[in-house]
Amino acid sequence: FASATDDAMSLARAKLEDVFGYKGFRPLQGDIIDTILRGGDCLALMPTGGGKSLCYQIPSLVRPGTGIVVSPLIALMQDQVDALRDLGVKAAFLNSTQDRSTQDQIERQFAADALDLLYVAPERLVQERTLALFERADIALFAIDEAHCVSQWGHDFRPEYRQLKILAQRFPSVPRIALTATADERTRQDIIAELSLENARSFIASFDRPNIRYTIAELGSGSARERLWQFIEAEHSSDAGIVYCLSRKSVEETAAWLCSKGRKALAYHAGLEAPVRAAAQAKFLTEEGLIIVATIAFGMGIDKPDVRFVAHLNLPKSIESYYQETGRAGRDGEAANAWMAYGLQDIVQLRQWIGQSEGPEAFKTVQRQKLDALVGLAEMPGCRRQALLAYFGEMRSEPCGNCDNCLSPPHTEDGTIIAQKALSAVYRTGQRFGVTYLADVLIGTADERVLRNGHDRLSVFGIGKDVPVSTWKGLFRQLTAQGYLTGDDEGMGSLVLTERARPLLRGEERFLMRVTRPKSKVAKKRGAS
Ligand code: ADP
Ligand code: ZN
């Protein structure tokens, strides 16, 4: 029995070299492929560029039957399939952009077992017609790409993904692998529950991107565009990069402004005609030194290895978005910059959007918590990379030496005691309350809710009355950003302690807080990058 899988694994290595031309597996690829070849399910969390595709492509070549790949990125299917065909892999796709006769032809090829890989849009896959087709032939595996789309808390929720549960019911003996580059704990739990992956092995690659230097600056009264220009001129005078803005209008204006400064810059947002967007994307991929100024509409699935910088002129919506967007820099492993300048008005704006958005209150609450965590990351004085990785559940003992706070440490004070008070308040009130309530308890506001809960009798009631509310709120943001606290599962807005909080509560760890910077220091801060 063991020798059968050993044989399969040698075949997998042969395919890696002969078909794809690579010498060895990247971290986790070998273990994931081995698990699938033994018929097991997998959950693979790997950063963008980590090499997720091979994890299902190779087993599809080794196992009998066709590997079915579910992907929401219809626009990219043609390119993916063309690239595989160039390597001699028998690949095809099925989606709504094809006419009936093309679809019939591909279905016939599939039924005759003439395909190694078939890419299918999720809405297509869950149709009874497609499922029946699949039941008539051999399936090597199901790969569910961009699996975070099942999570309604995430930024890419796709209702059709919820129906993919049916795969486990209709094809219990076919291995399934879910893949994503979004890895917070909540999303992970959603994927496992929604795709019935309770028995899957989880593979979590390090999310560290050591070649990316993180810099986050609060603007004060300065102009974001001027700061951007100083940064680009100083560090990227002829490099390709992406500049993200919040609105279409500022995308257009910033692109025009960079052109007026003598750089080649193109605007990209969802309001532009499809051919205009396609042309901008094509130029970005082929021409050197082009800057794309874009809303978040740009970037999903773009594989340009030598993007040297990603700049944000506004705050993104969450740490997940920030990580995903900055992750488009430096995929070739060479040094790259993730640079962000934000103003306090960004926070106000994003909060308003969340408040006005449609959807249940619990959803908005989670969005607010995610925004708070990002603001916490922006405000914190310690190593950005440590915090970023801790947010995704990854501990790193040493500061990185390659972020603004490591390279030019901000003024800090010891916040251990105040952080302990904050965490104790969370604990003593039963981990059932949000920031505002917790601040009330700490400051000793005996309002009706506090009295009704009897929390005016707690030892933590009023222990923080010498500290302003804004400081407490900022502290809770920083504690969330650094993984000491997390949101509750139901989206009630409560803060809950994580494992990480224990050493801090026991006094085995110190917590540093940024000292609010006097106005005169704003100019000096530039030197950080
Ligand atoms: P992801 O889907 O995780 O973003 P991809 O599967 O697109 O990443 O892989 C990113 C890049 O790394 C691709 O150019 C791919 O060809 C390359 N790659 C993947 N696995 C290996 C490997 N074992 N050896 C060398 N290059 C690899
Ligand atoms: Zn650092």
- In angstroms, the CA 390 to CA 388 distance is 6
Which-ligand-closest: CA of 205? 1
Task: Kindly report the average pLDDT of the chain as a whole number.
Answer: 90
Quote the ligand 2 centre to 53 CA distance (angstroms).
30
| Cβ of 33 less than 6 Å from ligand 1 | no
CA-based nearest residue to 467, from 409, 522, 415: 415
8 Å CB contact between 497 and 438: no
Q: What is the pLDDT of residue 335?
A: 97
**Spatial CB neighbours of 137, under 8 Å, sequence gap ≥ 6:** 65, 66, 110, 111, 113
Q: Would you state the pLDDT for residue 526?
A: 41
Residue linked to tokens 């969005």: 367
What is the rounded distance in angstroms from the CA atom of residue 177 to the CA atom of residue 33? 10
**Mean pLDDT over residues 55-75, rounded?**
95
Does the pLDDT at position 494 exceed 50? yes
| 206's tokens | 């390090």
DSSP calls for 399-412: --SSBHHHHSPPPE
Among 26, 87, 304, 323, the mutation site with the greatest number of ligand 1 atoms within 8 A of its Cβ is 26
Q: How far is the CA of 210 from the centre of ligand 2 (A)?
A: 10
331 ligand 1 Cβ < 6 A = no
Q: Is the CB of 50 under 6 A from ligand 1?
A: yes
Kindly tell me if the per-residue pLDDT of 81 is higher than 80. yes
Range from 50-54, 84-88, 125-129, 511-515 carrying the lowest mean pLDDT: 511-515
Residue % of the chain over a pLDDT of 70: 95
Across 60-69, 183-192, 216-225, 516-525, least confident range: 516-525
What tens digit of pLDDT does each residue of 123-135 get? 999 999 999 999 9
- For the ranges 104-118, 291-305, 320-334, the one whose mean pLDDT is highest: 104-118
Whether the per-residue pLDDT at 517 is higher than 60: the answer is no
- CA 350 – CA 137 distance, rounded (Å): 49
393-449: pLDDT as tens digits: 788 889 999 999 999 999 888 999 999 999 999 999 999 999 899 999 999 999 999
- pLDDT tens for 254-288 read 999 999 999 999 999 999 999 999 899 999 999 99
pTM of the model: 0.71
Tokens read off for 108: 């016939």
Which of 18, 22, 25 to probe ligand 1 with, by most ligand atoms within 8 A of CB?
A: 22
Residue 49 beta carbon below 6 angstroms from any ligand 1 atom: yes
Among residues 177, 105, 481, 149, the alpha carbon closest in space to that of 473 is found at: 481
Burial of residue 351, with CB atoms counted within 10 A of its CB: 0-12 exposed, 13-18 middle, 19 or more buried? middle
| Ligand 1 site, residue 46, Cβ cutoff 6 A | yes
- The pLDDT assigned to 301 comes to 65
310 alpha-carbon distance from chain centroid:
15
Write down the pLDDT at residue 8: 93
CB atoms within 10 A of CB 446: 13
Whether the per-residue pLDDT at 239 is higher than 90: the answer is yes
Which string of b and e fits 70-93 if b means at least 16 CB within 10 Å?
bbbebebbeebbeebeeeebbbbb
Nearest residue to 49 via CA among 75, 26, 33, 30: 26
